Structure 1
Amino acid sequence: MRRLALATLLAATALGGAAHADILFVLNSMDPGIQVVDAATRQEVRRIPALREPHHLALSPARDVLLIADSGANEIIFVDPSTGEVRKRERVANPYNLEFSPNGKMLVVTGLRRDQVDLYDWDGQGLTLRTRLRPGDMPSHIAFRPDNRVVYVTLQGSRAIAAIDTEERRILWHMEVGREPAGIIWHNGKLLIGIMGSDHVAVVDPEGRRVERIIRVGRGAHALFPSPGGGPIYVTSRVDSRITALDPETLDVMRIYDVPGGPDCISFDREGRIWTTLRWNRQLALVDPATGAVTTSPVGRSPHGVLFQSRTVEAAARPPAR
């Protein structure tokens, strides 16, 4: 029935020229299961079986494959991002989080439970493990330097971040940044890190290896998401159940959105609206950043990763293949 519903949805959008079939991938880390949801109706149109604990996902550089990490099952699921069809499953040790390098040639995978960071080559189709490193306790989130040469990993159990040389495949240095560092992004030559065991974002100078500034955003400061087109940087705070918008130039707080339920991961739609998983409430929320309006819909237990995927469907303009 779910396949029929999705097929009906996609077929309907093809009527009358170009249209959009917008779907969301929601990773329920405690069901387990991956829901494909129609963004317009909030109804589930497909369920992708997962063995245990899917947490994070990454869209390939060519945007033609969605990689979903199932940490407890020791596998990465390769999915068609336009339909939710599973293409293959590949054995990978404890994949918790994953991030492609800016040049699209490398995938870094963190193993939170096994205290490992794996560096894979990516050829557009599959993965080849090159190096396994053990930088510290509970490696979590990932950020690349724009030149691809260095990747930074937060270590939740070590109160630190680690810098890894991707060419020499070795750990360069460690730096303490605060209790339970989680999300991390590169921004204008600095590293912005959500300090989950506290209430702030740490602004780190990676060259001088020092915390330059602390930005208070709320307890359980978790992950950071730059909005499309150079707009605000949004920070989720799971304990205080809020999303904070930071000015991308000054990093000053622009606005705070109260989003009950423990907002965790974020994805943006074509209109710049915020889709966020509510970790504690088994819900998916849609936040309008202009008005602050929040609407919710039910999903599975402990929803974590989320991806909004817009699929433009064009009416056939040429004869069918023979």
Structure 2
Amino acid sequence: MPGVSNPKNLYADTASSQMSAAVKGDLERIYVPNLRGNSVTVIDPVAMKVVDQFKVGRSPQHVVPSWDLRTLWVANNAERTNEGSLTPIDPRTGKPSGPSVKVDDPYNMYFSPDGKSAIVVAEARHRLDFRDPKTMALQYSIDVPQCGGINHADFSIDGRFAMFTCEFNGSVAKIDLVERKVLGYLKLAMPRTRLKDTPVKPNSKGEPPASEICTATKGMPQDIRISPDGKRFFVADMDADGVHVIDGDSFTEVGFIATGVASHGLYPSRDGKKLYVANRGSHRIHGPRKGPGSVTVIDFATEKVLAEWPVPGGGSPDMGNVSADGKWLWLSGRFDDAVYRIDTTTGDMVILKAGPEPHGLTVWPQPGRYSLGHTGNMR
């Protein structure tokens, strides 16, 4: 596995200046999987317009950069049917580069830090399928029986273990990647209060939502990202309206940061100093339009909130990533059939139209030596 060049900031190799030779010639594009449209919308971020749209498999969830940065895989999980597949996209042409590869239930996909395996997250099967990263032939599987809704992950700084969130159990699973086994599960603590997710009124000036007693008995953890020094993991929780902080070695919860309604996606800034939190605006899995969606900016070093950017008129920020130059945060608007381009300095937003129920969009190309998967967890 490639070593970390800066142990104090494992994101140092994903700074704007660290573009790999492997992505030279790749088109600058935003790839948006439309869950209910069985399609991918392609946006030119310079022209700020849709330049293509093509059909993929059933229920595309995420567009995932491969470990070697040469393929973008569309994870079509077919929502609990037997039609799951992975559609390859050539980033130099922006188009599918071959037929879809049939795999079981690919809700999401990651790559082992050594690049030897693609990890298909078979959510409905409570299972992680390790596959050949080129052919997708099955290598072996790890059953995670107590992780209902297993979906998002991040990896330790030394690559020896990973943490996966368990959406429907309100917990996190720790996986030993060397011994290929589950090390344990951690139930996440819920706060006493959270935010109301009532729709935003017309002409809203961005007033923060009112608080309410948190009646949820367990969380709904979503995305997870590691701190720059590799010591802590941050877990977005849709039912807790904030981010849990977990010590990686002791596997204990050591803090909680309140953010916005339905914390969902997590993205580090290009300098590794900030964490952008996409708050989806509804505690429901299928929420309404014009919810109190927002983006929260957290300082990694102090674990304090620096800024809160509401979506003008309401919205549903979901998944995405930061542009290569660090100037823009691109997010899908899950319940509003939209894509948001957010200025990472001011929080100003431009809203573009997308297909039906856009989900795990990726920004490409991105800096970094290799991809750990998802929508571009780069190292």
Among 228, 231, 237, the alignment partner of 2:273 is: 231
2:251 alignment partner in structure 1: 209
Answer yes or no: is 1:297 the counterpart of 2:352: yes
What is the deviation of 1:35?
1.1
Q: Which amino acid aligns with 2:346?
A: T
Q: Is the 8 A contact 1:111 1:138 kept in 2?
A: no
Q: Which amino acid aligns with 1:114?
A: R
Answer yes or no: is 1:218 the counterpart of 2:272: no
1:77 alignment partner in structure 2: 87
Among 340, 353, 358, the alignment partner of 1:285 is: 340
1:31 alignment partner in structure 2: 37
What are the ranges of 5 or more consecutive residues in structure 1 without an aligned counterpart?
1-17, 312-322
What is the deviation of 1:21?
4.8
Answer yes or no: is 1:134 the counterpart of 2:186: no
Among 271, 291, 294, the alignment partner of 2:325 is: 271
Secondary structure class of the residue paired with 1:142:
strand
Q: Is the 8 A contact 1:139 1:154 kept in 2?
A: yes
The one of the two structures with greater contact order (alpha-carbon pairs below 8 A, sep at least 6) is 2
Among 37, 44, 50, the alignment partner of 2:50 is: 44
Q: Which amino acid aligns with 2:323?
A: D
What is the deviation of 1:103?
2.5
Q: In the TM superposition, what whole-angstrom CA distance separates every residue of 1:65-113 from its partner, at most 9, and x where no partner exists? A: 1111000030111111222222232111110111122332222221222
1:4 alignment partner in structure 2: none
What is the deviation of 1:19?
9.6
Distance in 1 of aligned mates of 2:27 and 2:224: 31
2:226 alignment partner in structure 1: 186
Q: Is the 8 A contact 1:112 1:140 kept in 2?
A: yes
Q: Is the 8 A contact 1:48 1:84 kept in 2?
A: no
Q: Which amino acid aligns with 1:183?
A: D
1:127/1:39 CA distance change after superposition, 3 Å: farther
* TM-score calculated relative to the size of structure 1: 0.85
1:86/1:45 CA distance change after superposition, 3 Å: same
Distance in 2 of aligned mates of 1:266 and 1:133: 28
Answer yes or no: is 1:57 the counterpart of 2:97: no
1:242/1:131 CA distance change after superposition, 3 Å: same
**% identical equivalent positions:** 26
* TM-score calculated relative to the size of structure 2: 0.73
Distance in 2 of aligned mates of 1:50 and 1:19: 24
Q: Which amino acid aligns with 1:229?
A: D
What is the deviation of 1:140?
1.1
Q: Which amino acid aligns with 1:140?
A: N
Q: Which amino acid aligns with 2:302?
A: T
What is the deviation of 1:205?
1.3
Distance in 2 of aligned mates of 1:99 and 1:210: 24
Q: Is the 8 A contact 1:237 1:263 kept in 2?
A: yes
Q: Is the 8 A contact 2:27 2:93 kept in 1?
A: no
1:66 alignment partner in structure 2: 72
Distance in 2 of aligned mates of 1:32 and 1:53: 5
Secondary structure class of the residue paired with 2:124:
coil
Distance in 1 of aligned mates of 2:169 and 2:265: 18
What are the ranges of 5 or more consecutive residues in structure 2 without an aligned counterpart?
1-23, 190-218, 282-291, 367-379
Q: Which amino acid aligns with 1:52?
A: R
